[in-house]
Structure 1
Amino acid sequence: MTQIILFDPLVPWVLIWGLAALSLISIGVALWRRLSGWALRGLAALVLIAALCGPVYQVEDRAPLSDIVLVVADETASNQLSDRPTQMAAAKAALASQLADRPNTETRWITLGDGEGDTGSQLMGAIAAALAEEPRARIAGIIALSDGQVHDIQDAPDLPAPLHLLATGKETDWDRRLILRNAPGFAIIGEPVTLTLRIEDQGAVPDNNLLAALEISIDGATPQRFSLPIGTDIDLPLTLPHGGRNVIQFTVPTEQGELTGRNNTALVQINGVRDRLRVLLVSGEPHPGSRTWRNLLKSDSAVDLVHFTILRPPEKQDGVPVDELSLIAFPTRELFLEKIDDFDLIIFDRYQRRGILPAIYLDNVANYVTNGGAVLVAAGPDFATADSIYRSPLSMVLPARPTARVIEDPYQPVVTELGKRHPVTADLGDAANWGRWLRQIEVDQPQGHTLMSGIEDRPLLVLNRVGEGRVALLTSDHAWLWSRGYEGGGPQLELLRRLAHWMMKEPELEEQALWAEANGQRMRIRRRSLDDSVGKVTVTHPDGSTVDLDLTETGPGQWETQYDGPEIGLYRLTEGALTAVIGLGPAAPREFEETIATLQILHPVIKPSGGGLLPLQDGLPVLRNVRAGRPAAGRGWIGLTPRKAYETLSVVQSQLLPPWLLLLLSSFFIALGWIREGRR
């Protein structure tokens, strides 16, 4: 039972204080003038003011509440290194025993795991969440079992009780990590990009460590090995071998005695892009299609275009002196002998043999294709004549032979069944809405892949691979009708753009491809093929274990599946002869950036609360009770603050003085004062 006196004023306190001041002034004046009865009238005023204050006698029935101690057990990845789990288990057992022996105490055990994504140890967030669920007036103390590596120290809450850190780890711990200072998302193929690396040792490092080995592997290939100094930033020039995504893994071998090897690897993914795509366009004669090709290639800022149109063939005799012609001589030797390898793509647009390019030059073009180059032939009526470019050394790389027949009938281009699977012609839209073309060159013996057909299913677009290079044949010169909107037009620009980029070996247009896209720890595996079915994809984990996954067909020539990687690191994908690599998450998560146990990070939060920072290797401290505001830690002990909280079960209130008694007392003093003054 608790008894207290409360005040429940009948009027605002301002008015009561005003009446008290007025009464005090009146009594002062009466005393100064030596008036009789001033004391009795003062007592009457005091009784009236007390009545206005509304004194209440309150009796509370209280039940004492137990103190609450929060214990946060850090089970993040960094606190699972070496023998820290053993230290944690022993500390938890001993601490649980001491708290159980402490009277009137409840313990709230909180397990701290790795933060979502790569946010690291969110100790302050865990404490704030626990405080939000408990009455702050009952919190006697907070104890953290951790290595001290906290990544949300800036979110520290207002603490109602001392916070103590019992730190795991040993003084002899040391670790080595690889730091990648800069990692660009894009780089130009064939040009070096500079990456800055640093190998850093932490903790009680052995004295003999001056150099460390570094292994560099691109797309999972056999790594190259180098020796680098420790503790120094190293600028490393790196050249990307191919376009598209390049997965580069830097690894420092794990030394004996290190805490972990998880931070000895840096994984970076860089997209390789071409600086400029160099294209040579040779138009055999002026025609509307030439403008279409030129507009397409000039619209791409990444394309360097060299365009020649043959306006005056050598056999033309018009009597005009050559030195008076405002025409540029065709630099055949320079282009087709000396600088042919500088071009990524050569386009022959309605070109026919007129003696401008000798057979040796065209033979060099054929060799250029087999060695990795690309040639596109947009055929017109010239392709069916005796002067056809097919009647040259180029015939050994061209994918179809002309029959000498030119068909001048309207027809609607159609994407073949194979073309619906090929990335060049897939998803071009509804062919029923395309406009018609008016001419097609008949060819036979097509090699490679026929992606589009024309009149009576004759080949219209044929693609083939020759040696290391690629070649394409478009058996019509009427693609420009689509760009003019004839009968509604068609996807001419998109078709020609894809065609040109496929020939220049852009990775996203490969017809046989395997790749994966990462989203956190989930990868989306995609497979493109011209076949009717594909096999299982074998996923090799960073630890070497494998799993086989079935793919689901999502469209013509496209299969995919999703897979959640169980750990962070480099994964290798294999399906048939195709391989791919992908990195899930950072190679060195935030938990492994700093692995040496520390007391410094939590010091600014713990010291203002009066708590202590004690290494567990010195032994588990004992628990003591301390008063609020006093230091709560010392050598070998930590303190908890008893809160003496209680729960009010019932409250009974009654008037301290009954109203009739107050009225009687005030009347008595007033009457007595009046009688006193009357006798004077």
Structure 2
Amino acid sequence: MTREIVLDPTLPLWLIGAVAALAFAAALLALWRRLPGWWLRALAAAALTVALLDPSLQTEEREPLSDILLVAVDESASQRLSDREQQTREALAELLSEAEREGLDTRVVRVSDGEGDAGTLAMTALSELLAEVPQDRVAGAFLISDGRIHDPQLAPDLPAPLHLLRTGRSGDWDRRLIVRDAPAFAILDEEFSITLRVEDVGDVPPDIGNEADIVLSIDGGQPRAYRIPVGEDLNLPIVLPHGGLNVMEFRLPEADGELTDRNNAQIIQINGVRDRLRVLLVSGEPHPGQRTWRNLLKADASVDLVHFTILRPPGKQDGVPVTELSLIAFPTRELFFEKIDEFDLIIFDRYQRRGILPGIYLENVRRYVEEGGALLIAAGPDFATADSIFRSPLASVLPAEPTARVIEEGFLPTVSDTGEKHPVTEGLPTGYGDGEAPWGRWHRQIQLTPSDAQIVMTGVEDEPLLILDRVKAGRVALLGSDHVWLWDRGYEGGGPQAELLRRLAHWLMGEPELEEEALTATALGQEITVTRRTLGDEPGPVTLTAPDGSTIELTLQEEAPGRYVARHLGEMQGLYRLQEGDRTAVIGLGPAAPREFEQTIASEEVVAEAVDATNGGVWAVEDGAPDLRAVRADREAAGRGWLGYTPRQAYLTADIRLLSLVPPWLFLLIAAGLTVGAWMREGRS
């Protein structure tokens, strides 16, 4: 219960002050004139002032409220290292018990890993907890953690001390792998460097050594081992094995006694790109379609095109003197003997044997294909003649033999059943042609007898039109018509000429996204999409291995002809491995070493500024449990064996009573009597 005198002025205070001032001025004037009743006038003025102020006695009934301790408990991944979970449980139990003995209420919030790879957002959780309780009751805040939080800049403005109960052991040590620098893209067949560093942190044993072994595997393939110094940056030279996405995993073997191996691995995903695609295009004679090939290849800035059109074969005799000809001689030896291996793709467009390329040069082309080169034959009527390029050493690598029949009639190119599954022709855009036909017609086709190859498009009476084949390490494509240019000109609406030829060229050059037999995976957030492409029967389930070694079988569902898909929500970050039959793939979900494991040694460095700003302290849990002690505000709240809290003395007002000390009418009567008394005294005088 508390009592105090309160005022309930009848008039505004400024007006009461003015009236009082005039009354006391009159009393002083009477004193100056030596009137005998001046003191009665002063008492009358005071009584009048008290009457106008109306003083009352206020009595409050108060119920004291307990003070509150805020407790944020770090339950992130780094708190599961060593025996930190047990330390946390014991520290929380001791703190709650001590708070109960001190008569303190507690509010506890548990902090898990942040969404994605945000880390430990302890200060955010503490701020949200502070917003839920009356601040005038908060006597202190405790953070039970290893100190490795990731939002120290968001520390709340606490009205009481903040303390850290630090988990972890003084003898902890850890080894971690850091990627200092790695490109997002790299040029195929060119060496580039990745900067790596191995660091030992904490109480490192003296016998651990100054070197570490690191293992590199690309796309889960054969690992390669390197030995690198500890504590120094190392530039590791790498050459990408293929185009497209290359998933590289660097891993350190776990050392004896280190806290965790979760930061011993790093995943880097690098796209392999070709520097310049060198294409050799040989046109056997001028025709309307050769510009289509040239325009397509020249439109790509990454393509270096070497194009020759044979305008004057050696056997041509027209009487024009050689000195008057401005034609460029065909550099056959340079192109087909000295530099043939520098080309990524060779295209023969309506080429026929005219004695320009001797058999030994065509033999070099055959060898080029078998050793990994790419060859495209765009056949015209010449392919069906006795001078056909098929009647050369190239016959052993071509996927079909001409029958000598040239079909001269309109037909609609059609994607075959195999082509519906093949990435070169699967899902080609439609809507070009007039009426019901999706594309415009062609008007010439060479009849072919295919070998054991993939027929992806057909023409007249389902005759093979586009045939693809693999020859040892290389690839060959045969297009049995020279009328693809009609699509480019928009004849009868045209067709997807540019897209078809682009895909065809990229498949020939081995681009991974156009592989017809492939197991791939992509990630969007935490969701992994597994895709299996095949030209054969339905594939079996895919075995997915998570970063912790656990496995799960994914059942594939057919989403399009030849494309089977499964989706999985990854709960962990790191490297996932997939296997279906003899095909394997890898995908990195987030970093291999999440943010929680970048720094694993317990430390108060990150939260030191927030703790010092509130006069709080740091207590190592391994030293036992501290006592709680009440301290005044603005005093140091930590000492030997104790941590402090600030009593807030908050209360709840249960009842208020007002009692007027003197009725105003009585004070007015007294003031009037005193004034009359002063007048009578002065009248007698």
| TM-score (normalised: structure 1) | 0.94
Asked if 1:515 corresponds to 2:514, the answer is no
Deviations 1:321-370 (A, max 9, x none): 22331111111111111111111111111111111111121121112111
The 10-residue stretch of structure 1 (623-632 or 333-342) with the greater mean CA deviation from structure 2: 623-632
Cα distance between partner residues in 2 of 1:488 and 1:424:
21
Which residue is 1:563 aligned to?
568
> Which deviates more from structure 2 when the two are superposed, residues 8-17 or residues 90-99?
8-17
Matching of residues 172-251 of structure 1 within 5 Å: 172-208=171-207, 209-251=209-251
- Note closer, same or farther for the CA distance 1:605–1:378 as it changes in structure 2 (3 Å cut): same
Deviation at 1:609, TM superposition (A): 1.4
**Partners in 2 of 1:54 and 1:427 — Cα distance?**
93
Post-superposition CA distance 1:469-508 (Å, at most 9, x none) = 1111111111111111111111111111111111111111
CA contact under 8 A between 1:400 and 1:443: conserved in structure 2?
yes
Contact 2:52 2:664 in 1 (8 A): no
Give the counterpart letter for 2:113 in structure 1.
Answer: D
- Tell me the secondary structure at the aligned position of residue 269 of structure 1: strand
Deviates more, 1:591-600 or 1:427-436: 427-436
Shift of the 202–23 alpha-carbon distance from structure 1 to 2, 3 Å rule, reads: farther
Match of 1:539 among 541, 544, 548: 544
Deviations for 1:387-440, whole angstroms, at most 9, x for unmatched residues? 111121212111122121222212222222221221111222236231111221
CA distances 1:194-236 after superposition (whole Å, capped 9, x unpaired): 1111111111112342212222121122322222111111111
Q: CA deviation at 1:62?
A: 2.2
For 1:587, the equivalent position in structure 2 comes to 592
For 1:533 and 1:85, how far apart are their aligned partners in 2? Answer: 47
Query: CA separation in 2, counterparts of 1:416 and 1:35?
Result: 130
What is aligned with 2:441? Answer: 436
Partner of 1:134: 133
Q: Are the structure 2 counterparts of residues 632 and 444 from structure 1 closer, same or farther at C-alpha, using a change threshold of 3 Å?
A: same
Matched, 1:492 2:497: yes
Q: Hey, what does 1:119 align to over in structure 2?
A: 118
Change (3 A) 1:399 1:613: same
Structure 2 CA distance for aligned equivalents of residues 677 and 417 of structure 1: 131
What is the identity, as a one-letter code, of the residue corresponding to 2:322?
A: V
Cα offsets for 1:161-206 (capped at 9, x unmatched) = 1111121222221111111111221111111221111111111112
| Structure 1 position 299 matched with structure 2 position 299 | yes
Equivalents in 1 of 2:529, 2:429: separation in Å?
26
Within 5 Å, which residues of 2 pair with 1:609-624? 609-624=614-629
Residue 59 to residue 97, structure 1, CA distance change in 2 (3 Å): same
State the match for 1:422 in structure 2.
422
How far did residue 560 of structure 1 move? 1.3
Measured against aligned partners, the alpha-carbon deviations of 1:236-288 in whole angstroms (never above 9, x if no partner) come to: 12111111111111112221121111111111111111111111111111112
2:669 to 664, 670, 676: 664
The residue type equivalent to 1:441 in the other structure is: I
Question: Which amino acid letter does the alignment assign opposite residue 67 of structure 1?
Answer: D
Does residue 644 of structure 1 match 2:635? no
Change (3 A) 1:397 1:645: same
Assess if the C-alpha contact under 8 Å between 2:430 and 2:496 holds in 1.
no
Residue 675 of structure 1, CA deviation: 4.8
Q: SS of the counterpart of 1:133? A: coil
8 Å CA contact 2:51–2:665 kept in 1: the answer is no
Amino acid at match of 1:145: I
Query: What is the distance in 2 between the residues matched to 1:24 and 1:399?
Result: 124
The Cα of 1:577 is off from its aligned counterpart by: 2.4
Distance apart, 1:150 and its partner CA: 1.9
Shift of 1:521: 3.3
Q: Aligned residue pairs: how many?
A: 679
Change (3 A) 1:162 1:321: same
Between the aligned partners of 2:557 and 2:16, the Cα distance in structure 1 is 84
* CA positional deviation for 1:541: 2.4
Task: Letter of the 1:521 partner, please give it.
Answer: Q
TM-aligned CA deviation for residue 32 of structure 1: 4.8
CA distance in 1, matches of 2:204, 2:251: 19
How far does the alpha carbon of each residue in 1:437-468 deviate from its partner, in whole angstroms, 9 at most, with x for none? 12211212354221111122212211111111
Question: Are the equivalent residues in 2 in contact too, given 1:632–1:639 (CA < 8 A)?
Answer: yes
The residue number in structure 2 matching 1:529 is 534
Q: Once the 2 structures are TM-superposed, how far is the Cα of residue 575 of structure 1 from its aligned partner?
A: 1.1
Return 5+ residue gaps in structure 2 as ranges. 432-436
Instruction: Report deviation, 1:674.
Output: 4.9
Please name the residue that 2:434 is paired with: none
Matched to 1:326, the amino acid is S
The residue number in structure 1 matching 2:313 is: 313
* Distance across 2 between alignment mates of 1:15 and 1:597: 67
Q: State the SS of the aligned residue for 1:297.
A: helix
2-structure distance, mates of 1:489, 1:611: 77
Q: CA–CA distance in 2 between the matches of 1:87 and 1:23?
A: 76
Provide Cα deviations, 1:622-648, integer angstroms capped at 9, x if missing partner. 122222222221001111222221122
The amino acid across from 1:88 in the alignment is: T
Alpha-carbon spacing, 1:60–1:541, altered in 2? closer, same or farther (3 Å): same
Write the distance in 2 (CA, Å) between the matches of 1:639 and 1:221: 58
Aligned-partner Cα distance in 1 for 2:11–2:512: 85
Find the aligned partners of 2:298 and 2:141 in 1 and give their Cα distance.
69
Q: Compute the displacement of 1:58 (Å).
A: 3.4
Identify the residue that residue 99 of structure 1 maps to in structure 2. Answer: 99
For 1:637 and 1:198, the matched residues in 2 are separated by: 41
Measured in 2, the distance between the counterparts of 1:408 and 1:12 equals 112
Q: Aligned partners of 1:496, 1:26: CA distance in 2, in Å? A: 112
Measured at CA, do residues 445 and 235 of structure 1 come closer, stay the same or move farther in structure 2, by a change above 3 Å?
closer
Name the stretch that deviates more: 613-622 or 179-188: 613-622
Q: Distance in 2 between matches of 1:399 and 1:18?
A: 115
Counterpart residue number, 2:74: 74
Distance 1:625-1:315 versus aligned 2 partners, 3 A rule: same
Instruction: Give the Cα–Cα distance (whole angstroms) in 1 for the partners of residues 233 and 60 of structure 2.
Output: 71
The corresponding residue for 2:263 is 263
| Alpha carbons 1:446, 1:459 under 8 Å: kept | no
Counterpart CA distance in 1 for 2:276 and 2:282 is 19
SS of 1:158's equivalent in the other structure is: coil
Cα–Cα, structure 1 residues 288 and 639, in superposed 2: closer, same or farther, change >3 Å? Answer: same
C-alpha distance 469-43 of structure 1, shift in aligned 2 (>3 A): farther
Distance in 1 between the 2:215 and 2:477 partners?
41
Deviations 1:561-601 (A, max 9, x none): 21123433222111122210111221111111111111222
Q: Is the CA contact (8 Å cut-off) linking 1:359 and 1:392 kept in structure 2?
A: yes
Native 8 Å contact 1:446 1:462 kept in 2: no
CA apart distance, 1:49: 4.9
Residue correspondence of structure 1 range 149-164 to structure 2 within 5 A: 149-164=148-163
> Matches of 1:408 and 1:672 in 2, distance apart?
141
CA deviations over 1:87-139 (Å, ceiling 9, x no partner): 22332333233223223x22223222222221222221121111111111111
Conserved 8 A contact 1:447-1:462? no
Task: Calculate percent identity across the aligned residue pairs.
Answer: 60
* Residue 366 (str. 1) matches residue 366 (str. 2): yes
Counterpart residue number, 1:332: 332
For 2:296 and 2:553, the matched residues in 1 are separated by 44
Name stretches of at least 5 consecutive residues in structure 1 with no aligned partner: none
Cα distance in 2, alignment partners of residues 22 and 377 from structure 1? 118
2:530, 2:14 → 1: CA distance? 77
Inter-CA distance 674–357: structure 2 relative to 1 (3 Å threshold): farther
